[in-house]
Structure 1
Amino acid sequence: MGHNWGLTAVFLAALTGCGTTYELPSVGDDQNARASRMFAEARADTSRATLSTSSAEARFNRVSQRVAPVGRSTCEQMLADRPGFNCNVDIQIDRQMTDRNAYFTYKSGAPVIRVSMPLLQDTGSDDEAAFVISHEYGHLIGRHIEKQQQQMVAGALILGGLAAAVGAQGGGGYNRDLVNAGVEIGATAGGVAYSQSYELESDTIGTRIAHSAGYDPVVGARFFARPEAAQTTQGQLSFWGTHPPDEKRFATVLATVDQINANVGLKRTAK
């Protein structure tokens, strides 16, 4: 039995070992040091004022109008090998969402980005709002929703099959409860397998989009250092629960900007 669950660990390691479509930039000591300093400065900054609803809406309109065409053209260029891929994103304020949040998803098969009014009111600059929206474009271009769905199916099949094997080897024959538990755990594990690499890939792509749209992604990334509870009042994960603040993310943005300044393009992974 121990041997089979050891195999499970191997399979789950395989699920988490790859996944990005594009190569993440190499981060050096200098970038890590700069990121650590900037992260600490951003976290210590208490001067941010809450925008009025009208000012936040004006910021959204101003920024989204500049980011959207760049996001679309970047998507079309990077996914030119996928004919028919829909890069026409509907970007709007989600006025029903009361928490500080932003997300990318599909509605009726069409890609959408939604940003809540509280999050917009909390942004300290147009650069921050631009980085948030550009980051969500990264999830579209990285095809993260599709990949997570594939990983959930793969994880469920792997653990469900191993659970069945464990039951058979234990002499108990087919154990429905054990198999169902394996399927459920496997689907969950597969669904979150790439969460960290997905976020870094979205940061990498988002940095390029924000920069091309005329914003400073390094200033924009300060938004991600904001301390915030992961759980909202409704018990759901907030923006900082699904987009965890991390010095590594700052370092990735800095490394991407260095690539841009050196005219180094984004490369696909070998996979």
Structure 2
Amino acid sequence: MHGSGPVQQRAERAARQFVAVARAVEPVAEAECRRVGAGNCDFLIAVDDSPAEEPNAFQTVDRQGRPVIAFNLPLILSVQNADELAFVMGHETSHHILGHLNRIQKDAEVGAIIFSGLAAMSGADAQTVRSAEEFGASVGARTYSKDYELEADQLGTVITMRSGYDPVLGAQFFVRLPDPGNRFLGSHPPNAARIEIVRRTAAAF
């Protein structure tokens, strides 16, 4: 029982911090969402308690079209301060505000059409055409994903600042992530590029 003390205290601190940050960021993100007319702006900020090893946060929509911002437990426990959590939250809400989920789906559809069309024109069999379609969708979805991440970093910086947190301090979260570098068709831009756009945006605010 004695060993559970520090763990319980850590969990309580993380829970209090998460609730406080969500209460601060959610109304700011919803106001920006309504300002730009981004559709459903009733954000649901949720905790994903499914087993996972890597810290992760993501944006999706539920069956009613409500935007959901989900954080898994490893991410909630890995942030070093409220600024990092606020920045990640601002970043993920920005994906919805900027319509990235729909844009990625459209990019995937275009890639699928082009690759499967080329395969069909070359006389490939049905299985090869299907494989080309899946590969094309994957390529299409990643083609502009780096740009979308930087756009979300930029708007996320503004949302973080308006919520009362420091996005430059918050962006230090990236320093601890494995740097994807600048790989061709990688899904995320280099960490240095992300931190730089946060600094520039904050300085101009």
Post-superposition offset of 1:252: 0.6
1:128 counterpart (74, 78, 84): 84
Cα distance in 2 for partners of 1:228, 1:188 equals 22
Post-superposition offset of 1:97: 4.2
Within a 5 Å distance, the mapping from 1:110-149 to structure 2 comes to: 110-149=66-105
1:196 aligns with 2:164: no
Cα distance in 2 for partners of 1:227, 1:146 equals 26
- CA change 1:243–1:187 in 2 (3 A) is closer
Cα distance in 1 for partners of 2:165, 2:190 equals 21
Cα distance in 1 for partners of 2:173, 2:116 equals 41
2:52 counterpart (98, 102, 116): 98
**Which of 1 and 2 has greater Rg?**
1
Structure 2 residue identity aligned to 1:98: A
Q: TM-score, normalised by structure 1?
A: 0.65
Cα distance in 2 for partners of 1:159, 1:176 equals 13
Aligned residues: 191
Structure 2 residue identity aligned to 1:64: A
Within a 5 Å distance, the mapping from 1:31-50 to structure 2 comes to: none
User: Is this contact kept in 2: 1:139–1:198, CA < 8 A?
Assistant: yes
Cα distance in 1 for partners of 2:179, 2:44 equals 28
* Between 130-139 and 143-152, the greater mean CA deviation after superposition: 143-152
Aligned twin of 1:246: 191
Gaps of 5+ in 2: 1-6, 181-185
**RCO greater where, 1 or 2, for CA within 8 Å and sep 6 or more?**
1
Q: How large is the Cα RMSD of the aligned pairs?
A: 2.2
Q: Sequence identity, in percent? A: 37
- CA change 1:149–1:227 in 2 (3 A) is closer
Higher helix share: 2
Cα distance in 1 for partners of 2:62, 2:188 equals 21
1:54 aligns with 2:12: yes
Gaps of 5+ in 1: 1-49, 168-173, 231-240, 261-271
Within a 5 Å distance, the mapping from 1:232-243 to structure 2 comes to: none
